[in-house]
Amino acid sequence: MRNILKNLPEFLLIGLAVFFFFETLIVRSEINYVMLIVTAIMVAQVIFKNKYFGVFLGIAVGLISFGLFLAVLSDYRKFPEVTTKAIELITVGGLMALAGAVLSAVMIFKYFSQDDNAAVKL
């Protein structure tokens, strides 16, 4: 149980990637190769726990979350007046971006505080 909590950000990102893979497969009958690659990268990170790659992934997730937040703000500004749809967009999009930022911060903190000489635990 404790090992699952340590790797919670990675497991959440794996879950999201698998969800988007199957969503694309079912709705559009297409294979989402990007989500397959993201899933493989995150599984490899859970297995090997590379410190530098973990920090890189944390920064990448943070930048993608920031881009998501900017896209949400851009779409919000397209509404001529504040409606329930506009509030729903800013709320859901903002919460998703915030969740990504929190996952990013947890991953960066976890891998920055990891010992350089830590062995791979299988």
Domain boundaries, the chain: 1-48, 50-116
Question: Given this model, what pLDDT does residue 121 score?
Answer: 55
Q: What is the pLDDT of residue 115?
A: 79
Q: How many residues does the chain have?
A: 122
pLDDT of residue 117: 61
* CA-closest candidate to residue 7, choices 36, 35, 56, 44: 44
| Amino acid at site 5 | L
pLDDT, block means (10 residues), the chain with 122 residues: 86 95 96 96 94 95 97 96 96 96 95 73 52
pLDDT at 4: 81
- Residue 64 to residue 16: CA distance in whole angstroms: 14
Neighbours of 88 (CB within 10 A): 10
What pTM was computed for the model?
A: 0.85
Determine the pLDDT at residue 63: 97
pLDDT for 5 equals 85
